[in-house]
Amino acid sequence: MPKLVNRPPKYSFHKPSGQAKVRYNGKDTYLGRHGSQESLEAYAAFIAKLPKPGETVRLIEPSPGATLLVGECVLRFYQHAEGYYLRNGVPTGEHVTIRCALQPLVKRFGHLPTRELGPKKLKQVREDMIALGWSRSTINKATNRIKLCFAWCASEEFISAEIAMGLKTVAGLRKNRTAAKEKAPIGPVPDEDIDAVLPHVSELVCDVCRLMRLTGMRPGCEAMAMRGEEIDRTDPTCWVYRPGHHKTEHHGKGRSVFIGEKAQAILLPWLLKAGDDKLFVMTLSALRRAILRGCKKAGVPDWHPNQIRHTFGTEVRSKYGLEGAQVLLGHSRADVTQTYAERDLGKAVDIVRKIG
């Protein structure tokens, strides 16, 4: 069965023949009598020819009419995902999420010929996910990624389109109609908990948290990715930050973050230091860890960066209504008219001027 992790295949025993064998990319290679010096040397030579960590070897095209194993299809799709989900030549991390989503399938049915994979077997994999303790929403997302895998394989003519169409008939798990647990909704973090943590973190982390609280930015693709060249400072009362990359850009949506005078005061020292370059040199995972350490030192319940965005959204909605919250959080619909969009932008600037 093809592996989704970079570990060398095992030296193993083939009982019927008494030979040693090694399995790689779904194929067995026999090495000679198990335990013999000849087989051990053959195994060492086999391992030496494998790709080194970080080295990618593309799989050869299957011969026409060949039946691939489920694991082989997964490996081909994973290699496709590694090269497809990129931003400015850097992996977005989606390929890692795909790998995790496909592991239960590989574990149960990796050796199965793809022609035998159908809706009932996909439901079995879903039961395995429930047994692993995954939440209903996580299971539904993982199941959709499995469907995507085989839809891609069908588009490449590795498998019959009927297989992909059959898997698509499996509906998502419904709330209160499954044994899968429900994921607790992300809620806002109280302002007093944010304020308690700020004295226990670095100046960078403190300013990022304060900035998100005043703007409602997403932590990763917006706040931590800010560049000076992306901030329009034409209006001194309300700057506009337009991220070069953001969560919904692949849907053709724009994103504008409105920055009032209080948030401008936080940004200005970082702008003077960075110029047009990236303002905050820190990863999202490092930001999360710093906040968790701050929570422990402050003696408050743990919270994570995205909860600040929820706090901002809750406040704006309570004071200025749902429409104001939608535009400031970037939750615009793709089919809105130009007139509606212009009215939204005016509302956003007015709200931000009031917030400060």
83 with 162, same domain: the answer is yes
Show the domain range for 157. 59-184
CATH label of the domain that carries residue 279: 1.10.443.10
Query: Helix 119-131 and helix 161-168: axis angle, to 10°?
Result: 50
- Measure the CA–CA gap between 140 and 134, rounded to whole angstroms: 10
Contacts of 255 (CB under 8 A, 6+ apart): 222, 242, 243, 246, 247, 248, 249, 330
* CB distance 236 to 259 below 8 Å: no
> Do 29 and 66 reside in the same domain of the chain?
no
Residues 226 and 112 in one domain: no
Residue 198 shares a structural domain with residue 169: no
Cα(145)–Cα(168) distance, integer angstroms: 11
Residue 314's pLDDT is: 83
233 and 280: one domain? yes
pLDDT for 158 equals 93
Which residue, 57, 76, 104, sits at the end of a domain? 57
In DSSP terms, which residues pair with 341 in a beta bridge? none
Both structure tokens of 185: 């909704």
Whether residues 135 and 157 fall in one domain: yes
The answer to whether residues 43 and 87 belong to one domain is no
Q: Do 351 and 295 sit in the same domain of this protein?
A: yes
Does residue 9 sit in the same domain as residue 64? no
Q: Give residue 250's pLDDT.
A: 45
**Torsion angle in degrees (nearest 10) through CA of 256, 257, 260, 264:** -110
pLDDT (tens digit, 0 to 9) for every residue of the chain, 356 residues total?
444 545 678 888 988 888 998 887 667 889 889 888 888 888 888 877 776 655 555 666 776 777 889 999 999 999 899 889 887 676 777 888 999 999 999 999 999 999 999 999 999 999 999 999 999 999 999 999 999 999 999 999 999 999 999 999 999 999 989 999 998 777 889 999 999 999 999 999 999 999 999 998 989 888 998 999 999 999 999 999 998 764 444 444 567 888 999 999 999 999 999 999 999 998 888 999 999 999 999 999 999 999 998 888 888 877 777 766 666 666 554 333 222 334 445 666 666 676 66
| Predicted local distance difference test score (pLDDT) of residue 16 | 85
Q: In Å, how far are 79, 119, 243 from 115, measured between CA atoms?
A: 21, 12, 45
202 and 333 co-located in one domain: yes
What's residue 196's pLDDT?
A: 97
0.95 cut: is pTM over it?
no
Number of domains in the chain: 3
Indicate whether 134 and 217 sit together in one domain.
no
Residue ending a domain, choose from 32, 57, 82:
57
Distance CA 167, CA 147 (A): 6
Domain identity same for 116 and 173? yes
Where residue 90 sits, what CATH number does that domain have? 1.10.150.130
